[in-house]
Amino acid sequence: MAEQRHKKSTRRHERYRGEHPIVVRNLKNQFGDAVIHEGLDLTVNRGEILGVVGGSGTGKSVLMRSIIGLQPPTEGEIEVFGKSIVDAEPDQEIGVRDRWGVLFQGGALFSTLTVGENVEVPLKQFYPEISDRLRVEIARYKIMLSGLPEEAVNKYPSELSGGMKKRAGLARALALDPELLFLDEPTAGLDPIGASAFDNLTRELKETLGLTVFLITHDLDTLHEICDRVAVLADKQVIAVDTVPKLMELDHPWIQEYFNGPRGRAALTAQALDELRRHMDEPVAAHAVKALDNAPPSRDKA
Ligand SMILES: Nc1ncnc2c1ncn2[C@@H]1O[C@H](COP(=O)(O)OP(=O)(O)OP(=O)(O)O)[C@@H](O)[C@H]1O
SS (H, E, C) the chain: CHHHHHHHHHHHCCCCCCCCCEEEEEEEEEECCEEEEEEEEEEECCCCEEEEEECCCCCHHHHHHHHCCCCCCCEEEEEECCEECCCCCCCCCCCCCCCEEEECCCCCCCCCCCHHHHHHHHHHHHCCCCCHHHHHHHHHHHHHHCCCCHHHHHCCHHHCCHHHHHHHHHHHHCCCCCCEEEEECCCCCCCHHHHHHHHHHHHHHHHHHCCEEEEECCEHHHHHHHCCEEEEEECCEEEEEECHHHHHCCCCHHHHHHHHCHHHHHHHHHHHHHHHHCCCCCHHHHHHHHHHCCCCCCCCEC
Q: What is the C-alpha separation between 280 and 209, in angstroms, rounded? A: 30
For the packed helices 192-209 and 162-173, what is the interaxial angle rounded to 10 degrees? 10
Task: Note whether residue 292 is domain-resident.
Answer: yes
Residue 263 in contact with ligand 1 by CB distance below 6 A: no
In a domain, 289, yes or no: yes
What predicted TM-score, i.e. pTM, was given to this entire model? 0.84
* pLDDT for res 142: 93
pLDDT(2) > 50: no
For residue 106, tell me if it sits in a domain.
Answer: no
Output 291 or 3, whichever has higher pLDDT.
291
Domain assignment present for 98 = no
Ligand 1: centre distance to CA 62 (Å): 6
Residue 46, pLDDT above cutoff 90: yes
- For the chain, the domain total comes to 1
| Residue 82 pLDDT greater than 50, yes or no | yes
Residue 275 has what pLDDT?
67
- Between 212 and 188, residue with greater pLDDT: 212
State if residue 64 touches ligand 1 by the CB under 6 angstroms criterion.
no
Cβ–ligand 1 contact at 66 (below 6 Å): no
Q: Is the pLDDT of residue 79 over 70?
A: yes
Task: Report whether residue 101 contacts ligand 1, using a CB cutoff of 6 Å.
Answer: no
| pLDDT of 77 | 95
Whether the pLDDT of residue 52 is over 70: the answer is yes
- What digits encode the pLDDT tens for the residues 152-183? 999 999 999 888 999 999 999 999 999 999 99
pLDDT band at 291 (very low <50, low <70, confident <90, very high): low
- 16 located within any domain: no
Is 210 inside a domain boundary? no
**Residues 58-81, mean pLDDT to the nearest whole number:** 93
Q: Could you say which DSSP state residue 138 is in? A: H
What mean pLDDT comes out for the span 196-204? 92
Q: Is the pLDDT of residue 269 over 80?
A: no
d(CA 164, CA 64): 23
Q: Which atom of ligand 1 is nearest to the CA of 71?
A: 1
Q: How far is the CA of 59 from the centre of ligand 1 (A)?
A: 5
pLDDT tens digits, residue range 101-149?
999 987 788 999 999 999 999 999 888 999 999 999 999 999 999 999 9
Task: Report the pLDDT value the prediction gives residue 287, as an integer from 0 to 100.
Answer: 60
Work out the number of other CB atoms within 10 angstroms of the CB of residue 142. Answer: 25
Residue 60 lies in a domain: no
Q: Give me the chain's average pLDDT, please.
A: 85
The answer to whether the beta carbons of residues 40 and 27 sit under 8 Å apart is yes
Higher pLDDT, 5 or 65: 65
Pocket test for ligand 1, best of 53, 61, 71, 236 (most atoms within 8 A of CB): 61
Indicate whether 295 belongs to any domain.
yes
Structural domain range at position 300: 261-302
pLDDT at 194 over 90: no
Say whether pLDDT at 151 is over 60.
yes
Identify the three-state secondary structure at position 295: coil
